Chains A and B, each alone.
Chain A
């Protein structure tokens, strides 16, 4: 077995999930006595590539091209396929991010490989990889094996831990792959960042609000608490459908499925489709005035009462703790 692990970067900086993928690939490689090579694609990424050594990649392949400053699904698919072929890699691992989920299906087709998306665990059994992944937004988990010779896996962010870098440096090799106009039939022209906004899918702490907050103006309470915790704001489907919050904050079966360390559900009763999207969080706090609300069934810690009193008090208390 030989694993090609794709390390995602944006603006020539690795995303946290890049280290998670490398570390997870390293573990699998050790267990299966397989080789591991990392891949970095971008316009000026050679300088950061060696740092992947700190997470267990001793060799890194870099593909650079001025046309790759921004993401292109068609160009990335070509590059990953060509590097996988050149390296004779039979396993490709990518993050289950907006980029990874976009390019992985194309890579799978080009390699005639089965794809297991959004894995939350990978184990080695008799030389073969067994992937665990949620389906029905986490209402059930399946164990899946790939039966084709080549295999593609995407790994859910925040689930595989990268730990800290051990400071090791990887050997970096440049590979030249020509990217012409024909490879750029779909390409990103412009990225609009929501200023400083942390995405629920990437956040380690999420504070979510529901209909019990009575109106969009009261989400300022949620925003303040999220801000002192360094977390992201989430929302229930009801408040997104009501237009109080943007849909990219929605947590649940028709929103995002999240697994943060801490999930604080404020004035959310806990509809089954919401619980499906957040119940794999490590710790769940529920704040709700109805002591019989289903959200308390999945919460590690609950406070029964009025969110309008509890949330500001909680913000204050966290501020005291962090000395902010």
Chain B
């Protein structure tokens, strides 16, 4: 099986966002970038599928040179190959998906895995767009995946208040949700091995964005409210405030 994990390189969750000089994006100074947390589940699932059914795992990322760090992480976890679609111009989801789809078309993978969303733009769109561009079925926000022969799979996806079991024919695109698996830590051998593996660089389709960010702001800072009191004695006053002032209960 040819298994592809698409990975993104994003600010970690500890990042305190500062607005950059352009007023449209974040100030990247001092920000620690990591592999997108959901993409780790994607890489892990590809590795597990390979361990069960054989094949190769290819990690693909679109972005500038810093994305190599994330590709190395995927290699250290056990991916066989890494490809950087090298371009650091600003792109919206459509434009990212177009570049990935154009590249993946040549590769014709059996399974393409994404994280369910990148924790920077939070669009949760690229996986579904790539599936549509390639004419492939998909299941998003997947917490379980079982292959049924070579041509079919059953994915379990998370929906509001429950789960859906989705029958999907292969090849297909999946997006991974937390809970799908427990990503492995790269072994020392894996880390050393990853240093020697080449990262193939490709020129992606130029960006053709369909959306434009006009401005970025910090949300209105919610000023600290009042401490109603200390201990269980403050409870009746809190309930009165929620009922009479806030009118939410």
Contacts and interface: CB of A to CB of B under 8 A. Distances in A.
Interface of A: 70-71, 73-74, 77, 97-99, 101-106, 108-110, 112-118, 130, 134-148, 185-194, 197-199, 201-202, 205, 229, 240, 246-248, 250, 252-255, 257, 261-262, 272-273, 279-280, 282-285, 291, 296-306, 309-310, 313-314, 317-318, 321-322
A298 B226 CA distance: 10
B165 to A, nearest CB: 4
Interface in B186-234: 209-219, 222, 224-232, 234
Contact of B227 (A147, A190, A296): A296
Given A136-B17, A202-B160, 15 more contacts: A105-B126, A106-B131, A108-B129, A115-B125, A115-B210, A117-B122, A137-B122, A145-B212, A205-B248, A247-B177, A272-B15, A273-B13, A303-B228, A303-B234, A306-B231
B236 interface: yes
Contacts of A134: 122, 219
Contact of A189 (B143, B167, B231): B167
B243 A321 contact: yes
B29 interface: no
* Chain B interface extent, by class: 35 or more
Contact of B119 (A246, A254, A296): A254
B14 A272 contact: yes
A250 B143 CA distance: 14
A189 B139 CA distance: 12
Interface of B: 11, 13-17, 19, 24, 26, 37-38, 92-94, 97, 119-129, 131-133, 137-141, 143, 154, 157-169, 172, 177-179, 209-219, 222, 224-232, 234-236, 238-239, 241-243, 246, 248-249
A285 B14 CA distance: 23
A73 B224 contact: no
B248 A261 contact: yes
A108 B227 contact: no
A303 B97 contact: no
